[in-house]
Chains A and B, each alone.
Chain A
Amino acid sequence: MGRIVGLEGSFAVAEAVRMVNADVIAAYPITPQTHIVERLAEMVANGELDAEFICVESEHSAMSACVGASAAGARVFTCSAGQGLELMHEVLYIPSSMRLPVVAVAANRALSAPLSVWCDHSDAMSLRDIGWIQMFAENNQQAFDLTVCAYRMAEEVLFPAMVHIDGFYLSHVIEDMELPAEEDVRDFIPDYEHPFVLDPDKPVSMGCYAPPFIYPETKKAQEVDFEATKQKILKTWEEFGRIFGRYYSPVELYRMEDARIALLVMGSLSETAMLAVDEMRDAGEAVGLIRLRLWRPFPFAELRAAVKDIELLVVLDRAISFGMGGPVCSEVRSALYNLVERPPVIGFIGGLGGRDISVAEFRYMIKRARERVNAGEEREDKPELIGIRE
């Protein structure tokens, strides 16, 4: 049986890595991810987890070591944030193209300059095309659950998986959560054997060189298989729900029944957004919330179904694509564009570099979005940056 504990988000992630019995951990410290590495180092030192802990000299080497270890058949883990993910960037494309089920947690952080250790999604948005399964958690329970699920998904489909947890908001906050029994997690994440490992008994060549006559075929194969991960992702969540009693899906709805307006957010902000929706519902406004749980592969069908009956969609981005707007908003718009009937999508950008977003600000976004619709500006592209002191 599980037990209720108060755990910091970082420790929840470390618990998940311990329970899945990872073999190799390679990580480099960066705020706000440090507590995850520290806790794992402690677990290995205390014998709570039998793993090799490689204290690498950089994030580039952290991901490279994970790639090597995974290619040799090990269950691996790394975690990083902000600048660390940027330094790791080049290597992130390798496990997805070489079909290695590396699992990583990103404690999302703003990017320099100016230096900021606080949360936003700029780092996550620079990773959109790396070919990993990517999910966003909104509380510590989910940080734990999704990390466990990431192993199951990655090892079944042989693609890497990344769980995004908001830096500080989750990584450093202690919350009540249920820690399942270790045997149940071990049953859910059984030992796995990669079909092709680096082994002198069965020599294979990995990471060969591909000229134009063959490179595109490798990418087509990757894309076809990556699209197909969706079914396994759904199956994993369904089975996880049956065993552990918590159900996840690619797009999760909150009070969307007969909603006319929907807010869409990712990550820990959805907890505040739910409070805002409750308040607005209490005031008789038909507002609901869409939480984008699965970021890659992008859940087109689920998103389209979610906005089918609404009149207005308000998207809050926690990152800027300079000269373009909010990255999530632009992806959501493109996902809806081919629908014959679709709601206008109004974008806001906020919460950069750890700036809080309050319930009042969510209410403000809804109010402003309505005003823009009334002023006939509902199809305008430009997002408003909220909470800025002019």
Chain B
Amino acid sequence: MSEEILFIPREVTTEENFAPGHRACIGCGEALAVRLVCKALGKNVIIVTATGCIEIISSLLPQTSWRVPWIHTLFENVAAVVSGIESAYKARIRKGKIPSKGVKFVGFAGDGGTSDIGIQALSGAMERGHDFLYVCFDNEAYMNTGIQRSSATPYGAWTTTAPVGEKRPLGQMTWKKNMPEIAVAHRIPYVATACPSYPFDLMDKVRRGLDMAGPAYIHVFSPCPTGWRCRPDISVELGRLAVETGIFPLYEVVNGEYHLSIDLPELRPVREYFKHQGRFRHLSDDVIEEIQARVEADYKRLREKAGLE
């Protein structure tokens, strides 16, 4: 399944369902990811978006960036709104009120809207087994409201609510919540991680998740120059570094089976990823060592799950 290549450069549509002209910051990895996801989704979808950067940059009245049907209501209820839309289509098709057109249902939310405030609605929707794709765009903090920490903020990172101070020199003092594993624990048919630095892999995964009957979850690493305190022209490079250091491995879990999308014989040191970002500037060598060890252990565990160790 994961071997199958669905998108190749020349065949990717030039059509932009997420229109240019939106208000994202320069170099926004999240906007790039949304654009690629929308290319893979095509036209026959309904997208529900949570409050957050994606919604704010794309829907300033009276304009909209969405060339497909799109709805935003609140921050924490994306999966519940999708549940309602999917159920409406199901009931209305069954009752002969509308024809069956194979419409797909998709939820978009940030890491805050997914792993914090929206986790209950998401868990409920995955457990109930609605036929939908949920995409979490993880920029590792509440960016829309000004870089506050979320449970997806990495250990040691500076944010405005986990600041670096004399008494608390670390910034974020907890380890990143593993949201893809939480999705896997719901035993849904498809879970994947992806990153816009690997656009074809990302689009392939979107298509697979979309075509899978039942809930599918994709966790997309989305570099944010504004919040990460880095240059806006290195977002794509940062995504690659996150993957190559093993900080954000790319994999799929299809019906419970793990496949690594890229298996790295050797991980690059995490320091190479950290050095570009102001949010990690304060980290001591000891802390970096601690993170290095954790990343390696986690990567090894993931390879074990994929039957590679």
| Chain A residues proximal to chain B, CB less than 8 Å | 23-24, 26, 50-52, 54-58, 60-62, 64-74, 76, 90-91, 94, 98, 191, 198-211, 214, 218
Write out the residue numbers on chain B whose beta carbons fall within 8 Å of the beta carbon of A62. Answer: 80
Write out the residue numbers on chain A whose beta carbons fall within 8 Å of the beta carbon of B44. Answer: 200
Q: Which 5 A-B pairs have the closest CB atoms?
A: A68-B84, A57-B124, A65-B84, A74-B88, A64-B80
Write out the residue numbers on chain A whose beta carbons fall within 8 Å of the beta carbon of B77. Answer: 60-61, 64, 91
B67 smallest CB distance to A (angstroms): 6
Write out the residue numbers on chain B whose beta carbons fall within 8 Å of the beta carbon of A55. Answer: 128
Interface stretch (choices B55-63, B201-209, B212-220) = B55-63
Write out the residue numbers on chain B whose beta carbons fall within 8 Å of the beta carbon of A205. Answer: 59, 64, 66, 69-71
Closest to A202 in B: B69
**B43 at the binding interface (Cβ < 8 Å):** yes
Q: Is the CB of B87 within 8 A of A54?
A: yes
CA separation between A202 and B67, bound complex, in Å?
Answer: 10
B105 smallest CB distance to A (angstroms): 9
B87 smallest CB distance to A (angstroms): 4
Write out the residue numbers on chain A whose beta carbons fall within 8 Å of the beta carbon of B98. Answer: 73
CA separation between A360 and B85, bound complex, in Å?
Answer: 52
A60, A64, A202, A218: the one contacting B84 at CB < 8 Å is A64
**In the complex with contacts A58-B124, A68-B84, A207-B73, A50-B91 CB distance below 8 A:** yes
**B45 at the binding interface (Cβ < 8 Å):** yes
Write out the residue numbers on chain B whose beta carbons fall within 8 Å of the beta carbon of A214. Answer: 61-62
**In the complex with contacts A60-B121, A209-B60, A199-B69 CB distance below 8 A:** yes
Write out the residue numbers on chain B whose beta carbons fall within 8 Å of the beta carbon of A191. Answer: 97
Q: List which B38-63 residues lie within 8 A (CB) of chain A.
A: 43-46, 48, 55-56, 59-62
Can you name 4 extra interface pairs (CB under 8 A) apart from A64-B83, A76-B84, A205-B66? A24-B88, A58-B124, A64-B80, A205-B69
B48 smallest CB distance to A (angstroms): 7
CA separation between A207 and B45, bound complex, in Å?
Answer: 17
Q: Is the CB of B76 within 8 A of A60?
A: yes
Q: Is the CB of B74 within 8 A of A198?
A: no
Write out the residue numbers on chain B whose beta carbons fall within 8 Å of the beta carbon of A203. Answer: 66-70
A24, A57, A65, A199: the one contacting B81 at CB < 8 Å is A65
A368 smallest CB distance to B (angstroms): 46
Write out the residue numbers on chain B whose beta carbons fall within 8 Å of the beta carbon of A201. Answer: 101
| 14 A-B pairs (CB sep. < 8 Å) | A23-B97, A57-B121, A58-B121, A64-B77, A64-B121, A68-B48, A68-B84, A68-B85, A74-B92, A90-B74, A191-B97, A202-B69, A205-B70, A210-B61
Q: Is the CB of A200 within 8 A of B46?
A: yes
Write out the residue numbers on chain A whose beta carbons fall within 8 Å of the beta carbon of B90. Answer: 52
B56, B76, B80, B127: the one contacting A68 at CB < 8 Å is B80
B64, B89, B121: the one contacting A208 at CB < 8 Å is B64
Write out the residue numbers on chain B whose beta carbons fall within 8 Å of the beta carbon of A70. Answer: 84, 88
Q: Is the CB of A65 within 8 A of B87?
A: yes
Write out the residue numbers on chain B whose beta carbons fall within 8 Å of the beta carbon of A61. Answer: 77, 79-80, 83, 120-121, 124
Write out the residue numbers on chain A whose beta carbons fall within 8 Å of the beta carbon of B73. Answer: 64, 67-68, 91, 94, 98, 207
A71 smallest CB distance to B (angstroms): 6
Closest to B82 in A: A68
Q: Is the CB of B97 within 8 A of A68?
A: no
Q: Count B-side interface residues using an 8 Å CB cutoff.
A: 48
Write out the residue numbers on chain A whose beta carbons fall within 8 Å of the beta carbon of B262. Answer: none
CA separation between A209 and B81, bound complex, in Å?
Answer: 18
Q: Is the CB of B101 within 8 A of A73?
A: no
B68, B70, B83, B88: the one contacting A73 at CB < 8 Å is B88
CA separation between A214 and B62, bound complex, in Å?
Answer: 8
Q: Is the CB of B120 within 8 A of A58?
A: yes
CA separation between A64 and B101, bound complex, in Å?
Answer: 24
CA separation between A26 and B124, bound complex, in Å?
Answer: 12
CA separation between A218 and B60, bound complex, in Å?
Answer: 13
Which of A62, A76, A205, A208 has the most CB atoms of chain B within a 10 A radius of its CB? A205
**B72 at the binding interface (Cβ < 8 Å):** yes
Which of B61, B101, B103 has the most CB atoms of chain A within a 10 A radius of its CB? B61
CA separation between A67 and B85, bound complex, in Å?
Answer: 8
Closest to B78 in A: A64
Q: Is the CB of B43 within 8 A of A56?
A: no
CA separation between A210 and B60, bound complex, in Å?
Answer: 6
Q: Is the CB of A208 within 8 A of B60?
A: yes
**B94 at the binding interface (Cβ < 8 Å):** yes
**In the complex with contacts A65-B80, A203-B66, A209-B56, A71-B71 CB distance below 8 A:** yes
Q: Is the CB of A200 within 8 A of B61?
A: no
**B95 at the binding interface (Cβ < 8 Å):** yes
B68, B82, B91: the one contacting A24 at CB < 8 Å is B91
A388 smallest CB distance to B (angstroms): 39
Q: Is the CB of A60 within 8 A of B43?
A: no
B60, B70, B91, B123: the one contacting A206 at CB < 8 Å is B70
A76, A200, A218: the one contacting B69 at CB < 8 Å is A200
CA separation between A27 and B158, bound complex, in Å?
Answer: 41
Q: Is the CB of B84 within 8 A of A204?
A: no
Which of A68, A94, A191, A204 has the most CB atoms of chain B within a 10 A radius of its CB? A68
CA separation between A340 and B162, bound complex, in Å?
Answer: 60
**In the complex with contacts A198-B46, A208-B59, A65-B91 CB distance below 8 A:** no
CA separation between A208 and B57, bound complex, in Å?
Answer: 10
B68, B72, B79: the one contacting A200 at CB < 8 Å is B68
CA separation between A24 and B94, bound complex, in Å?
Answer: 12
A58, A66, A207: the one contacting B71 at CB < 8 Å is A207
A179 smallest CB distance to B (angstroms): 23
CA separation between A107 and B69, bound complex, in Å?
Answer: 35
Write out the residue numbers on chain A whose beta carbons fall within 8 Å of the beta carbon of B72. Answer: 206-209
**In the complex with contacts A200-B68, A200-B69, A203-B68, A94-B85 CB distance below 8 A:** no
Q: Is the CB of B74 within 8 A of A54?
A: no
Q: Is the CB of B74 within 8 A of A69?
A: no
Q: List which B92-149 residues lie within 8 A (CB) of chain A.
A: 92, 94-95, 97-98, 101, 103, 120-121, 123-124, 127-128
Q: Is the CB of A67 within 8 A of B87?
A: no
CA separation between A202 and B45, bound complex, in Å?
Answer: 11
Closest to A53 in B: B87
Q: Is the CB of A204 within 8 A of B59?
A: no
Closest to A213 in B: B61
A64 smallest CB distance to B (angstroms): 4
Closest to A90 in B: B74
